[in-house]
Structure 1
């Protein structure tokens, strides 16, 4: 047991030294671009977790919800009264329900105007563009417009983009990219989305 404890202590000392070095090297302070992508569940949930964190410190947050905007959202319901939270949702709901490219494009463009306004406002600490990846993929938003807005936003502003199949150019300029992999999803085995768990 003594040998095991000695080895454990040595390993932890080595780990601490490594972590301390990484912390010491991280000296740049600015807003970031985070991308939560992949086929796994939890991209929007992760974004709402970060929204809650930012609001907890009293920062202003703007959220643009593409595609899922008309769905119930427990996080949005819980945080709606926070004066520092501004939410705009695309009014057509799921694009596979509407099946109307012109209407979906118009709805996307309308809510994108709000996103651009938020991304020009240096008092907004965090902007979440939920499911933006689909808007680019389907051609509702020109990639060039999105990239320009990202590049010209205030230096201290962080943006989170969520959704599957994130565009390569967006991924390439992101500071942090998290890909959520699906190992198993209950929905694919007949489990209905559960209120308070899935939305």
Structure 2
């Protein structure tokens, strides 16, 4: 048992030294462009986790919801009720496109949401801005992906983080991003006839 413990300790010393050497080279700080995409559940949930981290550190942040608008949202309720002094929250969508069935209105709402997003991103006091479901707006060309990428590259303050969520992120956005996570669908209760549930999906 002592030999095993000694061998383990020596292994961990070597591992720590290697890790410390790697970490010593990681000195830059920058505002990240982060994309959460894919068919799996958890894209917005993970992004809101980062927003709540900012709130916990008393860092100013903001959320713009591009699609979700007609339904209840637990994160929105909590932020508006408890943390509105730290986090601005703007629900600019009116629901999914198959619900609204009004393309002209959807485009107008997406463009208004993008205008609000740009204002919030330009504000250097915001540590992080979450653009929830903007990838869907870009997928349908309600918001031009080339414009979004150009704006993020040229007008985003150096230390501001921007998170963009939604399925089917366009390649131009993925190429421009610093961090891209694809949520893979393995199994989902909807396929077994279980609808979206409070506390899980919203």
Structure 2-normalised TM-score?
Answer: 0.92
Instruction: Please give the per-residue CA displacement for 1:34-78, whole angstroms capped at 9, x wherever unaligned.
Output: 111111110100011000000111111111111113321212211
Q: Unpaired segments of 5 or more residues in structure 2?
A: none
Q: Which residue does 1:30 correspond to in 2?
A: 30
Question: 2:110 aligns to what?
Answer: 108
Any conservation in 1 of the 2:65–2:93 contact (CA below 8 Å)?
A: no
Could you tell me which residue of structure 1 aligns to residue 144 of structure 2?
A: 142
Whether 2:162 is the aligned partner of 1:162: answer no
* Corresponding residue for residue 77 of structure 2: 77
Alignment of 1:111-126 (within 5 A): 111-126=113-128
How many pairs does the alignment contain?
Answer: 199
Q: Structure 1 residue 179 and structure 2 residue 188: aligned?
A: no
Paired with 1:51 and 1:154, the residues of 2 have a C-alpha distance of 18
Distance 1:70 1:14 in 2: 55
Distance change (3 Å), C-alpha of 1:169 and 1:18: farther
**Counterpart residue number, 1:64:** 64
Residue of structure 1 equivalent to 2:195: 192
* Alpha-carbon spacing, 1:34–1:9, altered in 2? closer, same or farther (3 Å): same
Could you tell me whether the CA contact under 8 Å between 1:70 and 1:90 is conserved in 2?
A: no
Change (3 A) 1:198 1:175: same
Secondary structure (helix, strand or coil) at the match of 1:124 reads coil
Residue 5 (structure 1) shift = 3.2
Runs of at least 5 residues in structure 1 that lack an aligned partner in the other structure: none
How far apart, CA to CA, are the structure 2 residues paired with 1:18 and 1:168? 35
| Alignment correspondent of 1:130 | 132
Matches within 5 A, 1:80-91: 80=80, 81-82=82-83, 83-91=85-93
- Matches of 1:145 and 1:37, distance apart in 2: 19
State the shift of 1:21 in Å: 2.3
Q: Which of 97, 119, 127 is the equivalent residue of 2:99?
A: 97
Distance, in Å, in 2 between the alignment partners of 1:100 and 1:43 is 26
Distance 2:116 2:15 in 1: 45
Structure 2 distance, partners of 1:12, 1:43, is: 34
Tell me how far 1:4 sits from its aligned partner. Answer: 3.8
